[in-house]
Amino acid sequence: MKTRPLGHGAPAVSAIGFGGMPLSIQGRPANEQTSIRVIHSVLGAGVTLIDTADVYCLDDDDIGHNEHLIAQALRSWSGSRDRVVVATKGGLTRPGGTWGRDARPERLKQACERSLKALDVDVIDLYQLHAPDPSVPFVDSVAALVELQQEGKIRWIGLSNVSVAEIKTAAAMVPVVTVQNRLNPFFREALETGVVEHCAQAGIGFLAYSPVGGGRLNQKLPSHPALGPIAERHGVSAHAVVLAWVLARAHNVIPIPGARTVEHALDSLTAVNVELSPSELAAVDQAEFSRA
Ligand SMILES: NC(=O)c1ccc[n+]([C@@H]2O[C@H](COP(=O)([O-])OP(=O)(O)OC[C@H]3O[C@@H](n4cnc5c(N)ncnc54)[C@H](OP(=O)(O)O)[C@@H]3O)[C@@H](O)[C@H]2O)c1
């Protein structure tokens, strides 16, 4: 498996990570063993970055579902746990199954304690602010992560759903190792607003979330006219072409596709060996990816 630097002071990780969300939200596999098999399949294929969050669950009564699942999968995996970076997040809530924000410092500290227990670790590898909370000064949320790091509860600090200005504000307080924003051909705002470029220049790893478009839009890829010929030439799926396009955005981009089946999870990893030509990249750049 090819690797990419995760960010300042952190080790290189697999160039494609795994996102745990679909294994724990609405529509998740009914059987936990299925989910464990999916996680074991990517670990066995050389994935060394798993992304999760306390809120990857059904609702507030189910907080930590995905973190428990990942802890369980790592415990029962025959390979070396030491090579695997587990990234989790705090700062969101799931009241009644909806998505809310709560990044008050005291709430982030409680969430981190709960994540330590759910992940069954003494230190969280990478702890990410899930999203800025408009009702809390951004610097206060970041300061809570700094305190958690000083207390030895988290190794590296990451941000998610942030602007260049927010990255700069946080980076003035503490080394920011990763930024996790959405990036796929349907949603290119991370490119258009300069976040990817800023991270590349600042030595910050960019974790591309929903890299194949997310649960609904990814289903449009196999029939997309721009992707079919490219996929055929390389002998890979349309999803792999899109992931290769995401990887080609910059040297610091690490896509974290999610999947509920072993087949899909492993198919995505084939993208690390797909080198798209300049004209293939341009074809995806210029194609329309309708969100309708
Ligand atoms: N920071 C944030 O705010 C945020 C927000 C969203 C997501 N994320 C993170 O990013 C990860 C990925 O995002 P996502 O789950 O929203 O979207 P995604 O990875 O773009 O799409 C996931 C869906 O695409 C399908 N898929 C993936 N690879 C495939 C392949 N090679 N062939 C066929 N189908 C494939 C899967 O279907 P099946 O389920 O049928 O296998 C899966 O449900 C999440 O798991 C989470 O870790 C973070």
Confidence of residue 221 (pLDDT cuts 50, 70, 90): very high
Choose which residue among 23, 210, 221 to substitute to test ligand 1 binding: the one with the highest number of ligand atoms within 8 A of its C-beta: 210
For domain 11-286, which architecture applies?
Alpha-Beta Barrel (3.20)
Q: What is the distance in A from the centroid of ligand 1 to the CA of 255?
A: 10
Q: 234-290: per-residue pLDDT in tens?
A: 999 999 999 999 999 999 999 999 999 999 999 999 999 999 999 999 999 999 999
CB environment 74-102: b (16+ within 10 A), e (fewer): beeeeeeeeebbbbbbbbbbbeeeeeebb
Confidence of residue 9 (pLDDT cuts 50, 70, 90): confident
Catalytic residues: 56
Domain ranges of the chain: 11-286
What was the pLDDT predicted at 8? Answer: 84
What was the pLDDT predicted at 54? Answer: 98
Q: 138-150: per-residue pLDDT in tens?
A: 999 999 999 999 9
Choose which residue among 25, 180, 209 to substitute to test ligand 1 binding: the one with the highest number of ligand atoms within 8 A of its C-beta: 209
What was the pLDDT predicted at 280? Answer: 98
Q: 13-28: per-residue pLDDT in tens?
A: 999 999 999 999 999 9
What was the pLDDT predicted at 250? Answer: 97
Q: 109-129: per-residue pLDDT in tens?
A: 999 999 999 999 999 999 999
Q: What is the distance in A from the centroid of ligand 1 to the CA of 214?
A: 5
Residue 172 pLDDT more than 90? yes
Closest-CA residue, ligand 1 atom 29, reads: 264
In percent, the amount of the chain with pLDDT more than 90 equals 98
Q: 63-122: per-residue pLDDT in tens?
A: 999 999 999 999 999 998 889 999 999 999 999 999 999 999 999 999 999 999 999 999
Residue 169 pLDDT more than 90? yes
Residue, of 176 and 8, whose pLDDT is higher:
176
Write down the mean pLDDT value for the chain. Answer: 97
Confidence of residue 188 (pLDDT cuts 50, 70, 90): very high
Mean per-residue pLDDT, 169-178: 98
Could you tell me if the CB of 209 is within 6 A of ligand 1?
yes
pTM here? 0.98
Count other Cβ atoms within 10 Å, centred on residue 263: 10
In percent, the amount of the chain with pLDDT more than 70 equals 100
Q: What is the distance in A from the centroid of ligand 1 to the CA of 219?
A: 11
Could you tell me if the CB of 50 is within 6 A of ligand 1?
no
